[in-house]
Amino acid sequence: MSFDLSFAKPPVVVDTTLRDGSHAHRHQYTPEEARAIAQALDAAGIYALEVAHGDGLGGSSLQYGFSRVSELELIRAVREVVQRAKVAALLLPGIGTRKELKEAVEAGVQMVRIATQCTEADISEQHFGMAKEMGLLAVGFLMMSHMRPPEFLAEQALLMESYGADVVYIVDSAGAMLPEDAYLRVRALKEALKRAKVGFHAHNNLGLAIGNTLAALAAGADWVDGTLRGYGAGAGNAATEVLAAVLDKAGLNPGLEVFKLLDAAEYLVGPILHFQPYPDRDSVAIGYAGVYSTFLLHAKRIGKELGVDPLAILLELGRRQAVAGQEDWILRVALELKEKEAGALAD
């Protein structure tokens, strides 16, 4: 399938370095780091930037990883310096509650992105209601969208739209999509939704984050996401600075300062990277098996502690179709694999 960008339009670009990047940063952002990154993104013309624990508001925990400082402190730090960009936060129903959302709004959040498993849009109704009551721009995230066909996702998106979503995203949480997958899913939402805009959020586990984002734009996507240096879960996200350069060359630049973003990626994010996400062996396995990207570092850590190959853990999680919220499966699978290996050696 070929993709024609001649009918695409400049998208709204959201940077999630201070949220999705939190996974790779082990949730250790400082207010000083958040302030510097936010100020640079704002000056470069980013429409909105997302700030929260990697797993959304309220995510700082034993299961998901503790934050170095409160996400509310990071939100306040960011609001001190941004002049144009909207400040957004992610909320996963069941992790974040009304309490966390209210506190985030008081700290300065203007947009909330409400994320559910792509089969569970119905659990987001009250959260969208809360967002609209609070006067927020409300965005829906259909996570792990590779797991269901386009027509099913369109039905889920219509639910979010009926609850008040201003935008609904196809989210490639596992980085498992090929360009055709991204195109067909975005196209289905564009044809089905009556009012809400359509977004696309990419992960780079198969090295296709930029390509899939372009396919989404060819299908009519209105909003797209990126992170500086691709800093995010798994092999990371579409790199914001690369995306800006590509959009500019394609005549689709929405007003981004390409070289300011290149400088921010090089001189602000580069020096603080815990590591550079890229499609290494285990990240590719995530995209290949369709595993939630945030499982990567947990699988590596548990695999090292138990002497179990992370690749085997990830492939088994993919076979079991593990999704967000099932992080406890990682340890269970690793223990089962270790027991199975021990049994094989005993035989």
The mean pLDDT of 272-294, rounded to a whole number, is 93
**Mean pLDDT throughout 211-216?**
98
Q: Is residue 203 part of an annotated ligand binding site?
A: yes
Domain 294-346: CATH class, spelled out: mainly alpha
For residue 123, count CB atoms less than 10 angstroms from its CB and return exposed for 0-12, middle for 13-18, buried for 19 or more.
middle
Report pTM: 0.93
Q: How confident is the model at residue 1 (pLDDT cuts 50, 70, 90)?
A: low
23 among known catalytic residues: yes
CATH topology classification for 7-272: TIM Barrel (3.20.20)
25 annotated as belonging to a binding site for a ligand: no
pLDDT, position 294? 84
Residue 201 annotated as binding?
Answer: yes
Query: Is 309 labeled as ligand-binding?
Result: no
List, for residues 64-113, the tens digit of each pLDDT value. 778 899 999 999 999 999 999 999 999 999 899 989 999 999 999 999 99
The domain limits of the chain are 7-272, 294-346
Whole-number pLDDT of residue 299: 87
Instruction: Give the active site residue among 23, 27, 146, 298.
Output: 23
pLDDT classification of 195: cutoffs 50, 70, 90? very high
Closest CA to 272 of 73, 26, 13, 59: 26
Average pLDDT (249-263) is 98
For residue 268, pLDDT over 80 is answered with yes
Q: How many CB atoms lie within 10 A of CB 255?
A: 11
Whether residue 173 is annotated as binding a ligand: the answer is yes
Q: How far apart are CA 20 and CA 24, in angstroms?
A: 8
Torsion of CA 112, 77, 209, 164, to 10 degrees: 10
Q: What percent of the chain has pLDDT over 70?
A: 97
The C-alpha torsion from 280 through 282 and 288 to 289, rounded to 10°, is -170
pLDDT at 93: 94
Residue 329 has pLDDT above 70, yes or no: yes
